[in-house]
Structure 1
């Protein structure tokens, strides 16, 4: 993509990790890198 991520693009995965939907996720690394 060759651009820096926008705050909303970074916030969405963070908010998901904080939600109940991610409650079964443990020990995972979520790379938010724009497909790099």
Structure 2
């Protein structure tokens, strides 16, 4: 149980960081599309 709990906590932290980075990346992609759309 302890090993599973530690693994789950590590996985949640990894997923949280990954989603934060992905969200920032997607934000930049959307901004680029908006810029090209205006031009």
Shorter chain as denominator, the TM-score bin is 0.3 to 0.5
TM-score (normalised: structure 2): 0.34
Higher alpha-carbon Rg:
2
Specify which structure has the higher proportion of helix: 2
More contact order relative to length (CA 8 Å, sep ≥ 6) = 1
